Amino acid sequence: MRVLISGGAGFLGAALANRLTAPGQGHTVLVLDDLTAGDPRRLAPEVLFTRGDVKDVPKLWTLLQGVDCVYHLAARVRVPESIHYPSDYNDVNVGGTVAVMEAVRDTGVKRVVFASSGAIYGEQPHQPVTETQPPNPNSPYGVSKIAAEYYVATLGALYGIETVALRIFNAYGPGQDLPPSYPPVIPHVLKQAACGGSLVIFGDGSQTRDFVYVDDVVDALVAAATATDVNRAVINVGSGRELSINELARDIARVMGTQPSPLYNRSQSGGVSRLVADVTLARTLLGWEPHTTLRQGLRLILNGDSRFVVSAAE
């Protein structure tokens, strides 16, 4: 296939681009990224990189000529940041999605795979969450993702474009961004443990999440491009395992062979109390299974990421 990945120099996008251009795959991969959070050095030499804004429809027209499938991953993704800058998140995450769908319509692309988020669920009375439970986002980021889902499905139906939305839960893996503000949970805790300091945990650490390894997410994205009977489908992509932040900290300490002490910051919310994905639909529609356990995923990070220089322990 010939594919375009918006946001393709980011953590997930680059992993997907490199998978699709790996030896034996035979795909042509174009990437569009404004490098707000992306890094073209992540990309294999075979990937055709263009720097640009996802809302630039004329540029999208140029890149989409002859493209079979668009992976729309371009987004701003930090939940706390979205609370401070909701207009920016609406502009990029919603406005960028509408621009992509317009350009896809104009150039005749057949399928769009949209990277949505488990953040759309918010607090839910039943766990694990299924795709039929009503969204209840508790942040502008979550709102922007559910709005983008609706735009993708509605415009896809109006324009005759096949669309699939994958609600990706807490993805992690080697090379994940570790910004000074609002870092993702796993690399943040790994870095604190590697430095030998206390582990700062927001809330009381009892809040649970679903952590899914990057290669498993890429498997689902790849499958969504060619799966049959998935038009307008919305599909959870997670590990299906519920893990508290306290348990995560203990697992990281075991794998790293350290004994960091937790320091609880109860003045800042730890987010929703529980969140774990029901991945039954992904198994049914995509033939997909998560294969990487958290312990395996943590060891893969430690083996491949020099930022966390501590000997792994059994």
- DSSP category for residue 71: E
Catalytic machinery residues: 141
- CA-CA distance, 3 to 6, in Å (whole number)? 10
The first and second tokens of residue 266, run together, are 């109860």
Q: CA-CA distances (angstroms) from residue 122 to 22, 90, 210?
A: 36, 18, 13
Is residue 104 within 8 A of residue 66, CB to CB? The reply is no
Q: With left for phi above 0 and alpha for psi between -120 and 50, is residue 44 left, alpha or beta?
A: beta
Helix (H, G, I), strand (E, B) or coil at 124: coil
Please list, in sequence order, all residues whose beta carbon lies within 8 angstroms of the beta carbon of residue 45, skipping any fewer than 6 positions away: none
Do 72 and 123 touch, CB atoms closer than 8 A? no
8-state DSSP, 27: -
CA-to-CA separations, 199 to 184, 261, 302, in angstroms, rounded: 14, 6, 17
C-alpha 220/C-alpha 172 separation (Å) is: 15
Q: How far apart are CA 82 and CA 190, in angstroms?
A: 24
Strand partners, 233: 164
